[in-house]
Structures are given as structure tokens and as C-alpha cells.
Amino acid sequence: MQVIVNSAMTVDGKIATHQGDSAISSKDDLIRVHKLRDSVDGIIVGISTVLADNPRLTIRLGRKQPKEKHLTRIIIDSMGRIPLDSQILRTASKIKTIVAVTKLAHMNVRRKIKKTGAIVIVAGTNTVDLKRVLWTIQKMGIKKILVEGGGEINWSLFSLGIVNELIVTIAPKIVGGRQATTLVEGEGYSRVSQGLKLQLKKVRMQNSGELVLHYKL
Ligand SMILES: NC(=O)c1ccc[n+]([C@@H]2O[C@H](COP(=O)([O-])OP(=O)(O)OC[C@H]3O[C@@H](n4cnc5c(N)ncnc54)[C@H](OP(=O)(O)O)[C@@H]3O)[C@@H](O)[C@H]2O)c1
């Protein structure tokens, strides 16, 4: 399984403001992300990202002729908090959608999510067991996966050592805020020497002044 993390952040490392506004990247960069989506089999996001952004996670930009290729969408959501009227569940009967929950998610909640057409995977006790989710979706034929955050999911996947590639767009903006979400949240390492070491493979500057950095892990 190939796991790629993609994110847009400000120069000060934030991927959203303290109020959860994550409209950081330019149109050019959004087109790049949609092309990247076109090259993978599935896309993972955390529940807080769904609650903050209500995304569709489809491919809409960067294609001359819109075609009906859809990615499998995987939402990491311990308790099954995803709103039934979210854009993702509203389209779950047409676009393959997996909601990965834990044993803590109430049976009724699981049933309601399934009724929308989404598949519910139960993995883990308190938080979602991401290794098990990746193993399960691999069995479903997903070989290449794109992770689109947020910071907590990024930390869990990085710290498990299962990310192969990081693509990060640095926008020439500063938003500050100690409560603002950064690229990687979680507990963090206590020493820099414990941190993950990345190899910079490619840098590209976009017209908007953004830098797109490609790292291998
Ligand atoms: N700029 C960008 O590229 C970009 C991209 C994505 C998101 N964002 C922004 O990032 C913010 C959300 O990021 P976030 O860090 O707060 O949350 P997140 O990573 O989107 O979701 C984290 C939540 O997922 C659930 N979860 C279940 N199992 C988990 C596990 N094993 N590891 C980690 N999380 C697990 C937990 O909630 P439960 O316990 O309730 O399940 C956890 O609080 C939003 O404001 C969004 O707009 C920005």
C-alpha cells in the first residue's frame, strides 16, 4: 500500500486558522490536488476535517471533460459523529464511502450510517486502528491512498511509520494562533532526534508564490 499525505499550510505551519478556516491554497494548487486525487484509489480524512469543512472529496477540477471516476472515501470517526446530511453521506449511495469507527460507536449510529449506502468498518477500541483500516481497504483492492488530514490523522499515520510520501504546499501567508491546527498534531516526539527524517525530492514554485515540496520518508 502506498500512502501519500498531502496538505496545504501557511509559512507558520498552520493548516487551518483557530476558527477552522482552511482555505489556504490557490486555485492552481487545488487543481494540482484534484489531479493527484485522480492518480489514487482512495482518500482518507479525519472526522474533525469533515465537521470543519464538509468536503465532497471528489475530483472536479483539472479535467477537460468531467468523467465519472470516483475515489473511495474513507472517514476516520471513532464514534460515528459524521452528520447524516454531510456532503459525504448525502452522496454515499453513489460514491463508495467507508466510515471507520471503533466499538464505541453505538449500533444505532452504525445502522443509520449504513442506511446512507456507506460501508462501516469497526476497527479499534478507543481510537480507530489505522493499521487495521489500511489492511482492510487493501483487501478491497485499494493500493494507493491519499491522506488529506487533518493534523491528528497525519500524526497517527506518520508515527505508525506508514507514510511513504509527503506533499506540502507552503502558501505565502501567516495566520498565527496557538489553537490553530498545524500540519502534524498529536503527542509529538520529545526530542528532535526522534523525529522522522524526510528526503526532499522535488520543489516547484507556483505562480501564486506557493512552494510545493515533495518528500519521501
Ligand atoms: N490545509 C489543509 O490541507 C487541511 C487538510 C485537512 C484538514 N485541514 C483542517 O484541519 C482541521 C482538522 O484537523 P484535526 O487535526 O483537528 O483533526 P482530524 O485529523 O481531521 O481528525 C481527528 C479526529 O479523528 C478521530 N480519530 C479516530 N481515530 C483516530 C486516530 N487513530 N488518529 C487520529 N485521529 C483519530 C478523532 O476524533 P473521534 O475520537 O471523535 O473519532 C480525532 O479527534 C480542520 O480545521 C480542517 O479544516 C486542513
Contact between 31 and 191 (Cβ < 8 Å): no
Task: Name the nearest CA neighbour of 166 among 15, 54, 20.
Answer: 15
Give 148 Cα–ligand 1 centroid separation in angstroms: 9
Q: What is the pTM of this model?
A: 0.96
pLDDT band at 127 (very low <50, low <70, confident <90, very high): very high
What pLDDT does residue 41 have?
96
What number does the ligand 1 atom closest to the CA of 127 have?
A: 28
Between the alpha carbon of residue 195 and those of residues 41, 44, 47, 158, 191, the distances in Å are: 29, 23, 26, 10, 7
Contact between 133 and 100 (Cβ < 8 Å): yes
Contact between 52 and 16 (Cβ < 8 Å): yes
Instruction: Cell 484534484: give the residue.
Output: 34
What number does the ligand 1 atom closest to the CA of 45 have?
A: 20
What pLDDT does residue 112 have?
98
Count the neighbouring beta carbons within 10 Å of the beta carbon of residue 49: 25
Mean model confidence pLDDT for the chain: 95
The mean pLDDT value for 131-157 works out to 97
Does the structure show a pLDDT above 60 at 145? yes
Does the structure show a pLDDT above 60 at 63? yes
What number does the ligand 1 atom closest to the CA of 20 have?
A: 45
**pLDDT tens digit sequence for 69-104:** 789 999 999 999 999 999 999 999 999 999 999 999
Give 151 Cα–ligand 1 centroid separation in angstroms: 6
The mean pLDDT value for 167-183 works out to 98
Whether domain 2-216 has CATH 1.20.1530.20: the reply is no
Q: What residues have CB less than 8 Å from 210, skipping those under 6 apart?
A: 8, 25, 26, 28, 29, 169, 170, 171, 172
Does the structure show a pLDDT above 60 at 67? no
Does the structure show a pLDDT above 60 at 66? no
Q: Which residues have CB under 6 Å of ligand 1?
A: 7-8, 15-16, 20, 22, 24, 45-49, 52-53, 76-79, 81, 127-128, 130, 148-153, 156, 181, 185
Q: Ligand 1: which of 78, 79, 113, 147 to mutate, most ligand atoms within 8 Å of CB?
A: 78
